[in-house]
Structure 1
Amino acid sequence: DDDDENTWTPLQLAAAQGDLPLVKQLLTQQPPPPQNDPNSAPRGYYGQTALQAASLNGHLAVVETLLRAGAAVDLPGGNNGGRTALVLAAGAGHLGIVRHLVDAAGAEINRPAHRYNGRTALQAAAEGGHVAVLRWLLARGADVNARPAGNRGRTALQAAASEGHDAVVELLLQHPDRVEVNAPAVRYQGVTALQGAALAGHRATVRRLLAAGADVNAPGGQYKGYTALDAGAD
């Protein structure tokens, strides 16, 4: 069933598991069956291409092999999030894979976030608290204020603040391209940076954001929206 989130091709499964010998065997099988195409579309709600699966799980050798076999670097993932290989690697903190996807394969650093629960590469790194990945992406021109997904999206600062990643928050606040401290909450389940920190109880983050000019009375998202005071009261 193509709608089954567990419906993966053999190549996608081998890539996810980091089984390099099997990946090579499948790619060289003759005549090549359609399911061994490195660009077979992800199936189901959370599906991934072979390259996305290898990138998420940190298998650099598999990533390199798939790229040599013609894997397209910027294909979107399944319906929920539509995350590219670069976004998945950044969110998992795999700096070596992030660098390879950009430098060797030309992955688009500022590719817009998928409309539903998507992230840019920088937003994903910030959400995961991966400072080294974040620094590298910023040095390569990642947009610190990139627009978040309209549905459950967060800017890089909103994501870092909501997760309590103070080192990431500080890095973003000190960036030469002034980060938007009061970037508005997205319409569906969105929060400002201050609201996200208050809702999660990250007091040090709240204090730092207030010192940076965060608006305590900013409205939240239109669905389940909070002001910072509402969030703190919860």
Structure 2
Amino acid sequence: MIVNNWMAAPALAATLLTSCSASSGAIAAEQLQQAAEKGDSRRVEALLGQGADIDNRDADGRTPLLIAVRAKQIETARTLIDAGADVNAKDRMQDSPYLYAGASGQNEILRMTLAHGADLRSTNRYGGTALIPAAERGHVATVQLLIEAGVDVDHINNLGWTALLETVILGDGSSRYVDITRLLIAAGADVNLADAEGVTPLAHARQRGQHVIEDLLRKDGAH
């Protein structure tokens, strides 16, 4: 019996060590997430140096980088990206650091993600590229960045809308939406690409009294 206990001791010790290691890893992961949200770059660096998993997930599937992007912590996002964080890692809502930066108009972070392997074809929960919500929310400079990066200007989301259609349908026709319309047309957007019900951007602009946008579309051959 004594022999059996002696033989079982190493196995027990290994089990306890594994349990402690897992517990320590969970604590480090939570601390990294908290530091990312607070913008504590020094703490982030320290935790990474101690071996914390850079792409660990919280209960919502968000990585520390996505947490930092959502909290608009630019320098902390930079620290994580430079350390190799995945700019395309999606949470349960299908947001990634790249997609969220584009949708929210965080251009400095967006540039970082583009420089570190952002997947221009990745889509959000609506089936849209980063360009579509950027256009819909009136982020002119963001739209320009994404066009220059090579995002497909005629991508159609699950609603049957392109970036141009969302600019008209969900925009208010103000100067920023006029500027976005100009950018999309200059980038070669199909001005006659209709929505799922066959309604064209021109028809939508006319219905909404967006006269400047209507004129721009007409000049580019819209009908």
| TM-score normalised by L of structure 1 | 0.66
2:103–2:133 CA contact under 8 A, matched in 1: yes
**C-alpha deviations, 1:56-86, integer Å up to 9, x for none?**
44322212221233311211222x3x12211
Aligned to 2:25: none
| Match of residue 162, structure 2, among 140, 155, 159 | 155
Alignment CA distance shift 1:159-1:205 (3 Å): farther
1:117–1:153 CA contact under 8 A, matched in 2: no
Q: Residue 84 in 1 paired to residue 96 in 2?
A: yes
The CA distance in 1 between the partners of 2:206 and 2:31, in whole Å, is 44
**Number of equivalences:** 189
Aligned to 2:55: 39
| Match of residue 106, structure 1, among 114, 117, 132 | 117
Percent identity (aligned): 32
The CA distance in 2 between the partners of 1:94 and 1:174, in whole Å, is 23
The CA distance in 1 between the partners of 2:151 and 2:122, in whole Å, is 11
Aligned to 1:224: none
Aligned to 1:20: 41
The CA distance in 2 between the partners of 1:153 and 1:16, in whole Å, is 35
Look up the equivalent residue of 1:172 and give its one-letter code: L
Deviation at 1:198, TM superposition (A): 6.5
2:206–2:214 CA contact under 8 A, matched in 1: no
**Structure 2 unaligned spans of 5+:** 1-28
Aligned to 1:146: 155
Secondary structure of 1:163's aligned partner: coil
**Structure 1 unaligned spans of 5+:** 1-7, 216-234
Look up the equivalent residue of 1:204 and give its one-letter code: H
Alignment CA distance shift 1:83-1:171 (3 Å): same
1:131–1:168 CA contact under 8 A, matched in 2: yes
Deviation at 1:195, TM superposition (A): 6.5
| TM-score normalised by L of structure 2 | 0.68
> Hey, which of these two has a bigger chunk of helix by percent?
2
The CA distance in 2 between the partners of 1:70 and 1:184, in whole Å, is 41
**C-alpha deviations, 1:124-149, integer Å up to 9, x for none?**
3212222222222222222211232x
**C-alpha deviations, 1:88-145, integer Å up to 9, x for none?**
1112222221112122x1212x22324x324312223212222222222222222211
Aligned to 2:180: 168
Once the two structures are superposed, the pairs formed by residues 61-72 of structure 1 within 5 Å of their partners are 61-72=75-86
2:167–2:180 CA contact under 8 A, matched in 1: yes
The CA distance in 2 between the partners of 1:197 and 1:9, in whole Å, is 48
| Cα RMSD, aligned residues only | 3.1
Deviation at 1:159, TM superposition (A): 2.1
Larger Rg: 2
The CA distance in 2 between the partners of 1:57 and 1:198, in whole Å, is 38
1:83–1:119 CA contact under 8 A, matched in 2: no
The CA distance in 2 between the partners of 1:182 and 1:156, in whole Å, is 13
Look up the equivalent residue of 1:90 and give its one-letter code: G
Look up the equivalent residue of 1:183 and give its one-letter code: L
Alignment CA distance shift 1:75-1:172 (3 Å): same
Aligned to 1:120: 129
